[in-house]
Every structure is written in C-alpha cells, then in structure tokens.
Structure 1
C-alpha cells in the first residue's frame, strides 16, 4: 500500500470505525462487536485497493460477512459446549449395565483367587471383621493374618487390573493399624 492509499485508509478508518462498530453491535453481542470491527478493518486494509465506490458501504459489506462468520462460529462453539456437557455428564454417571459389569468383573476376579485368599478378603471386606477377629476365625496369629490379607489384596488388585477398568478399588484407602481400610 503506497502512502496515498495509506492516508485514504486512515481517513476512512477514522470516519467509519464508529458506524461500523454500531452496525456490528446491532448484529452481535457487544463483546464480539469490537473483535469483529477489528477483523473488518484488517480485511479492509488487505483489500483496500479492490474497493469500488464509497468506503462506508463497502465496509458494511465486509462487516455483514464478518458478523455472519462470528454467528456461525458462535453457534458451533455453543453446540460443541452442549455436546461436551452431555458427554461429561454421561461419562460421570455409570449406567446400570456398566455397574453390573463392574461387579461381575470384581466377582470374577475374586472367584479366581485361592479359597484362602478369598476367605481372608471376605472376612474383612464383606463380614466387616477387624484383623484380630478375622485371624481368630482363621485360626492364625494377628501378624500372619495381616500378611495374608495384604498379599490377597495385592493378588486381587492384579487380577482386577488385568480384567480391565473396574470401578471397584480395594486399595483406595490406606490401612489402619488394625489392617482395615479407613
């Protein structure tokens, strides 16, 4: 752009900025109107040599197209936001089928454990006994039972990890001094 063209653009910019901005504010949210006005004058600057006639109607033509593009982009962004919101809420709520499959996976992993490991885990997890009481039921010392419980939990965790994603976690909380989960 030579100096005369630049001067002509500057004069048109100063005279037309407010009218173009008002034109855009009637068609777009006010926050988008300023951005769109900047885009209008960027396009106008690049294509200044292509214009025909008075600058303001030509700038309105550019502004009309820019506003349409902003509305389309806004609509796409809104639709994407809705889809993401739906996907996010659907992803956080497990369906009954998924919950049943998770339970079946956990039951299947538990069934593959040795009878001793299964009994140790069930006494603590299912029956709610502490390590001392469960050790008495199994006829073992408290220390021996605590070691068996730890090893059974590790084996169950490995089986669950190999079975795929399961929402049940046996080690989501640390052990207390009694060997129970908090």
Structure 2
C-alpha cells in the first residue's frame, strides 16, 4: 500500500468513526456538564485528539471505548479549568471590591461635585491631588514621580487644594468626605 492510499484509508476510517460516535459522545458530554456549549467544546476537543491520533486508533470496538476515555480526560481538564477560572474570578472580585472600598471618592455623597471640580482644575493640579489622595503617596514620593523637589511639590499641593476648595466650597457635608482628605495637613517627613 502506498503512502497516499494509507492516508486515505486513515481519513476514511476516521470519517466513519466520527459519524458513528458523534451522537453518543455528545450525549455523554451533555450528561456531565452544566452548559450545552461546554459539551460541544468537549466533543470537539475529543475528536481533535482522535484526529491527531487517527493513525493509532485502536480496532473498531476498542476505538469507541478509547474515545470515551479521551472525552473523560478532556472533561476533567475542562472542569479543572472551570474551577481555576472561578477562583481567579473570585480573587478579582475581591480585589475590585477592596479597591473600590479603599477609594475615598466612593465614601462621599458629594463625590460627583468633587469629581466635577477636579475635572475643572488644570492637569497639574489634578495630578498633584490624585497622587496624594487616591494613590496615597507622601509628598516626597509624589515629588519624585513628577520630578520636582519636595518643597516645590508641597507648594503645588497647597495651591491645588486651595483651588479645589474654591471650586467646591467649604460646606460639602459632614467630616470624612474627600475634601477633608484633600485639605488635611501633609504628613511630616523626616529630613
């Protein structure tokens, strides 16, 4: 038998194998997954493995059992992947919740007014305020980010706070809102 007729033989055999086993393998997968689209993925992956190994398929009666074994391993991988995706999703939800809770802007009923005022400030004033409040940087750290001296940064911070106060006013509500954080004295730094 020449190479091309050997290849044709394996391809024809695979077509018959596929047609004869597709429905039963799909039913197998559907009974084991929560979502039908997952069953379709499992069947497709199992037949992909079978196609790649078509030259090594066992004899007809054994081939069906072999295919179920392949589908079982594909299903196990799929379920492990689903578990990993769920764990990752949960970790991301926790991180997002923590990040939102840590954002001082989410604690303020008047945050929209503060955000609108921030948007009206020039870019440098906004960046100075956001580096210290939202990013939590010390003035010397923020000065390093902006590549200015700490003294220059503290001057810019004081002016930016005054401009923001001028835009939103002093009476936004009870203590604890963003304006209090923005107008709090800068922490003392060691020299």
Q: Distance in 2 between matches of 1:171 and 1:46?
A: 70
Indicate the SS of the match to 1:20: helix
1:2 paired with 2:7, answer yes
- Alignment partners' CA distance in 2, 1:172 and 1:60: 71
1:39 to 37, 42, 45: 45
- Contact kept, 8 Å, 2:129 with 2:161, in 1: the verdict is no
Indicate yes or no: 2:138 matched with 1:181: no
Where in structure 1 do 4 or more consecutive aligned residues deviate above 4 Å? Answer: 168-173
Per-residue displacement from partner, 1:93-145 (whole Å, max 9, x unpaired)? 028xxx6xxxxxxxxxxxxxxxxxxxxxxxxxxxxxxxxxxxxxxxxxxxxxx
SS, match of residue 93 in structure 1? helix
Separation of aligned partners in 1, 2:66 and 2:33: 19
The equivalent residue for 1:28 is 33
Provide the secondary structure at the position in 1 that maps to 2:168.
Answer: coil
User: Structure 1, unaligned stretches of length 5 or more?
Assistant: 100-152
- The answer for unaligned runs of 5 or more in structure 2 is 1-5, 105-120, 137-159, 170-191
In the alignment of these two chains, the number of paired residues is 120
> Residue 115 of structure 2 aligns with which residue?
none
Q: Select the residue among 65, 76, 79 that pairs with 1:68.
A: 76
Which residue pairs with 2:56 in the alignment?
50
The alignment status of 1:86 with 2:94, answered yes or no, reads yes
Tell me, in whole angstroms, the C-alpha distance in 2 between the residues paired with 1:41 and 1:172. Answer: 67
Q: CA deviation at 1:49?
A: 1.5
Alignment RMSD (CA, Å): 3.5
Change (3 A) 1:8 1:34: same
Residues 1:171 and 1:6: Cα distance change in structure 2 (over 3 Å): farther
Q: Secondary structure at the match of 2:133?
A: coil
TM-score in terms of structure 1 length: 0.56
